[in-house]
Amino acid sequence: MQQKDVLPMKPEPTEKRAATTAPLNITGSEAVIRSLIAEGVETIFGYPGGAIMPIYDALYDFQDQVHHILVRHEQGATHAAQGYARTSGKTGVVFATSGPGATNLVTGLADAYMDSTPMVCITGQVAAALLGTDAFQETDVIGITMPITKWNIQVTRPEDIPGAIAKAFYIAGSGRPGPVLVDITKNAQAAKFDFKYEKCEYIRSYRPVPVMDKDAVAEAAELINSAKRPYILCGHGVLLAGAEKDLIALAEKASIPVASTLLGLSAVPVDHPLYVGYLGMHGNYAPNIKTNECDVLIAVGMRFDDRITGDVSAYAKQAKVVHIEIDAAEINKIIKADVAVHADAKTALQALLGLVKPAKHDEWIQGFREADKQEEEKVTKKELYPTEGGLKMAEVVRLISERTEGKAVLVTDVGQHQMIASRYYRFKDPNTNITSGGMGTMGFALPASMGAKVGTPEKEVVAVIGDGCFQMTLQELGTIYQSEIGVKIVILNNNFLGMVRQWQQLFFDKRYSSTEMVNPDFVQIAKGFFIPGRKVTDRADIAAAVDEMISHKGAYLLEVVVEKEDNVFPMVPAGAPIANIRLE
């Protein structure tokens, strides 16, 4: 169906704003802090430097209202802001200086952009008169970050600061969320002006919430009602929209099995009777193969990433595709939709719920359970309950899941441990799976776990990290100690860059080029940052070690030495059809 453009009946004003503060004659730097407070910001992750020093000086007078967390690297600030945003539901905020400070934000900005995480980064910049002169620590941060932000702007006058920050928060948090960058020159920080803050509620030409086409919803409902083998793919958009209950209600009403993408994990409790597993290259066997057996595929808040589809030419060719997606650019980009519902996931699901008829698809669902048995026999039993050989990553994740009852916030880095944790942690609550999906950023988990804990201090936060990933951002142990952030850190150490090594084993004739690692003593490093820890090499000790870690008050590091050449299965070879998924 052709997506219709539905416009409002009458034009909106260019900008509609609500005043929140009375005019004050203050510096641009103070205006930054007051603007953030007006937006409800309570936490900032950052690192000071010359070009942003006036803003840090202004922050000094507002320490009772805004908590600043001093990271050890600007990349750590961005990942911490991501973890904070994804657990708290608020927009993460980052401060950095010009030049190298600003360029150190690039990886985190790209990660947040790919994974639709709301974040506002404020960078200092050299004085306006020096722009373009290659002044000390001058970098064109606007040009560098334009492709990886929803919006960015350079502010050279103090009177433009409140409006820029208001727009930044509106754009970052509305529609499909994402990162925004505001670059403020030093002269704009220092000069005074009459400050008045007004929250931004509308920007001409930016329409973050599409007007849903009711005819498309009706057509989608008709397809679902006529389906014999309907199948829901749940993506990150369900969590971003707060639509978890709506999705479950729809699935239950029409007896539709639900599978999750990597970033959609935790939207549906793993023990729900209609949940059939995790999609993707290292996902579960049943949800992958059944994609090519369903007759109606309902994709909600997901973008058909290549890790989900494999070879697109062989993907779900037998199925009618309903795609519910807030970002029009994602519709028909990878997989052609028979019915496209351009809408927020919650709005669309609630509308569908009233049109979809009750149904039963017991035989179809039973097919998933039969496929599960094959995976259990060939993979799962051996992974979760090994009786010989070295420790396996899966049995460690199983113990953590049992001890936390599936209710902890699980923050994973990138690689084999990420796939294992995603497969075997038994998620119970929404927004408890924090990982780097689209960008696959090594070094993500340690700083992201800091932000996740600050965002949800009442929850246990466990970071599961590989030995290679940990060494990318281990300096953030200093932040954890100084800011007293009680995260639990689990290093699954196989002395390899494990995922690369697996590919080298399977596809490059075991030519292990630059993947074996000689690692330091991780427990001693943690102790150097005054964080207690323990190293486990024997299966007999692992249960007690996990108990000790979980019961410890405050931060704790547990290193577990796992099998050196332990592979992750199932696996869809890169570029292959998903039906070619391998169990061994």
Counts of helices then strands in the chain (DSSP H, E): 24, 22
Catalytic residue among 3, 137, 482, 505: 137
Where does 44-140 have alpha helices with state H? 53-59, 74-88, 100-103, 106-114
Residue 136 annotated as catalytic: yes
Catalytic option among 302, 439, 499, 549: 499
Peptide bond into 457 cis (omega under 30): no
- Contact at 8 Å (CB) between 182 and 168? yes
Distances (CA, A) of 96 to 51, 189, 226, 478: 9, 14, 55, 18
Interatomic CA distance for residues 385 and 579, integer angstroms: 27
Q: Give me the helix-helix angle, 416-424 and 498-507, nearest 10°.
A: 100
Q: What residues contact 397, with CB distance under 8 A and at least 6 apart?
A: 420, 421, 424, 425, 464
Long-range contacts of 146-149 (CB under 8 A, 24+ apart): 148/106, 148/109, 148/110, 148/113, 148/179, 149/109, 149/113, 149/178, 149/179, 149/180, 149/181
Is 244 noted as a catalytic residue in this protein?
no
Catalytic residue among 74, 138, 330, 460: 74
With contact defined as beta carbons under 8 Å apart, do 284 and 277 qualify? yes
> What strands, in cross-sheet order, belong to the sheet with 179-185?
67-70, 43-46, 92-96, 119-125, 179-185, 151-155
Q: Which residue of the set 90, 150, 186, 346 is catalytic? A: 186
Active-site residue, 499 included: yes
Among this protein's residues, is 74 annotated catalytic? yes
- The single-letter code of the amino acid at 118 is P
Phi-psi region of 564 (alpha: psi -120 to 50; beta: other; left: phi over 0): alpha
CB 256 within 8 A of CB 230: yes
What's the CA gap between 272 and 275, in Å, rounded? 5
Closest CA to 451 of 88, 95, 39: 88
Angle between helices 539-551 and 393-404 (to 10 degrees): 40
- Give which of 340, 472, 376 is closest to 72, Cα–Cα: 472
3 state SS for 484-506: CCCCEEEEEECCECHHHHHHHHH
- Is 137 annotated in the active site? yes
Name the burial class of residue 291, with classes exposed (0-12), middle (13-18) and buried (19+) by CB atoms within 10 angstroms of its CB. Answer: buried
Concatenating the DSSP letter of every residue in 345-360 gives HHHHHHHHHTTSPP--
Q: Cα-atom radius of gyration of the chain, to the nearest Å? A: 24
Give the angle 490-462-109 at the CA atoms, nearest 5°: 100
The residue annotated as part of the active site, out of 136, 507, 508, 530, is 136
Can you tell me the distance from the alpha carbon of 174 to that of 180, in angstroms, rounded to the nearest whole number? Answer: 12
Classify the C-alpha dihedral 445-451-452-454 as positive or negative. positive
Bridge partners of residue 67, in order along the sequence: 43
Tell me if 332 sits within 8 A of 340, measured CB to CB. Answer: yes
Residues 6+ apart with CB under 8 A from 98: 49, 50, 51, 52, 123, 124, 125, 126, 137, 138, 139, 141
Instruction: Point out the residues that are catalytic.
Output: 74, 136-137, 186, 499
